[in-house]
């Protein structure tokens, strides 16, 4: 992720809603793809102050009213869509009558915006049911209805919410936006990383299995990740939670959870690929790495290894978790190569065949 610049010259970051120096309101302008200072117009709306833009804008409803977004929408003839290009994917939002849910929703939206930024960097196809795409994408952010150790409650249906993906619909339990609860689950489930953005990247991996692999490239995918029909997902899930991951999993998988089933292996590896793209995007903009990065998988892995080593040492200086593994097993590299191929193949011409 790059940094941006306010009209006063102060640096702006991707999540900013105000410039801390000149106090200008700022937002993401979809016309010039920048975080910019926005200037109110006499007849309503705002003007992008980027010198090469000057587009008329409106705030996303979730920015203007709910204060959980910072994106603008383009205004034409005094009219604009109510929701931005990220918020329009929401199907269910948290119950805002419950204390703390607005803050958790804001954290979820911030992670989702970073997800979409990475997907757009890769030019991966995605759309809602209004976009005539074969697999529409949508999100629900919900809380457990039944009490969970006295911490979580809701007036919704009496059910427990599981983070997951089904046919293009991604559900994330809002407790994942609570740092303490998420860390407890990370330790309980023996996961090296469990982050909010990590959940989005994992679940979007399931989405892209449906979009790029299902009924299109399943044979080639099976050759790399294994047969997703045997055992069944239900059988694999039960076995994993009874027996755990095999002790030699680092020799073949990116994570312990990836051993559960080929679909989870695909999603975990996909999430790692997005991790690399996002980290390298930031590292290159910030001048952290000087490795020649030409977009090939080999150059990506070399550059990410360099950044990972540096950040790992910095994190150890502060007693924090490593950013990246020091070594990738050959089997994991093969899986990343497959993902790199299908992502690169999702060109504009190819994406036309993904819409109905």
pTM of the model: 0.89
Quote the pLDDT of residue 284. Answer: 86
Question: Token match 């489930």: residue?
Answer: 189
Comparing 63-77, 89-103, 147-161, 230-244, which segment has the lowest mean pLDDT?
A: 147-161
Q: What is the DSSP string of 130-165?
A: GGTBSS--EEEEE--SS-STTS---SS-S-----EE
What is the Cα–Cα distance from 27 to 36, expressed in whole angstroms? Answer: 6
Instruction: Give me the sign of the Cα torsion angle 200, 203, 206, 207.
Output: negative
Q: Are 117 and 13 in contact (CB under 8 A)?
A: no
**pLDDT (mean) for 272-289:** 88
According to DSSP, the residues that pair with 37 across neighbouring strands are 26
Q: Are 138 and 89 in contact (CB under 8 A)?
A: yes
In 118-148, which positions are buried (b, 16+ CB within 10 angstroms) versus exposed (e)? bbeeeebbbbeeeeebebbbbbebbbbbeee
Quote the pLDDT of residue 225. Answer: 97
- CA distances (Å), origin 129, targets 133, 237, 321: 7, 30, 39
pLDDT at 307 over 60: yes
Instruction: Give me the sign of the Cα torsion angle 206, 210, 215, 217.
Output: negative
**pLDDT (mean) for 166-183:** 85
pLDDT at 146 over 50: no
What is the Cα–Cα distance from 286 to 270, expressed in whole angstroms? Answer: 24
Quote the pLDDT of residue 288. Answer: 77
By CB atoms closer than 10 A (0-12, 13-18, 19+), residue 251 is exposed
Quote the pLDDT of residue 148. Answer: 47
pLDDT digits (tens, 9 = 90+) for 78-124: 888 899 999 999 999 999 999 999 999 999 999 999 999 999 999 99
Q: Are 200 and 111 in contact (CB under 8 A)?
A: yes
End-to-end C-alpha distance for the chain, whole angstroms:
33
Quote the pLDDT of residue 80. Answer: 86
pLDDT at 151 over 50: no
pLDDT at 217 over 70: yes
Quote the pLDDT of residue 136. Answer: 95
Quote the pLDDT of residue 189. Answer: 60
pLDDT band at 215 (very low <50, low <70, confident <90, very high): very high
């Amino acid at each position: 992720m790059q940094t941006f610049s306010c009209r006063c010259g102060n640096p702006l970051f991707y999540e900013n809603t105000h410039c801390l120096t000149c106090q200008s309101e700022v937002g993401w302008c979809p016309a010039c793809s920048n975080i910019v200072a926005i200037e109110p117009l006499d007849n309503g709306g705002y003007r992008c102050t980027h010198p090469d833009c000057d587009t008329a804008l409106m705030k996303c409803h979730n920015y203007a009213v709910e204060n959980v977004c910072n994106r603008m929408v383009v205004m034409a003839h005094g009219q604009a869509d109510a929701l931005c290009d990220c918020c329009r994917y929401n199907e269910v939002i948290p119950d805002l009558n419950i204390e703390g849910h607005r803050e958790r929703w804001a954290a979820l939206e911030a992670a989702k915006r970073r997800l979409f930024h990475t997907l757009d960097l890769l030019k991966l196809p995605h759309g809602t049911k209004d976009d005539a795409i074969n697999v529409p994408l949508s999100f629900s952010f919900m809380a457990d209805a039944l009490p969970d150790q006295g911490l979580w409650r809701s007036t919704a249906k009496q059910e427990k919410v599981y983070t997951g993906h089904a046919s293009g619909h991604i559900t994330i339990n809002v407790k994942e936006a609570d740092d303490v609860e998420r860390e407890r689950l990370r330790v309980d489930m023996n996961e090296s990383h469990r982050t909010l953005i990590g959940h989005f990247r994992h679940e979007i991996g399931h989405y892209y299995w449906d979009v790029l692999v299902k009924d299109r490239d399943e044979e080639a995918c099976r050759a790399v990740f294994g047969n997703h029909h045997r055992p069944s997902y239900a059988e694999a899930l039960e076995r994993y939670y009874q027996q755990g991951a095999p002790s030699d999993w680092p020799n073949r998988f990116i994570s312990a959870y990836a051993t559960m089933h080929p679909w989870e292996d695909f999603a975990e590896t996909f999430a790692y690929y997005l991790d690399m793209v996002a980290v390298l995007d930031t590292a290159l903009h910030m001048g952290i790495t000087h490795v020649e990065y030409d977009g090939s998988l080999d150059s990506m892995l070399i550059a990410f290894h360099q950044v990972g080593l540096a950040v790992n040492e910095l994190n150890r200086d502060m007693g924090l978790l490593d950013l990246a593994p020091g070594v990738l097993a050959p089997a994991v590299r093969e899986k990343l190569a497959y993902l790199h191929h299908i992502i690169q193949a999702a060109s504009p011409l190819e994406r036309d065949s993904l819409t109905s």
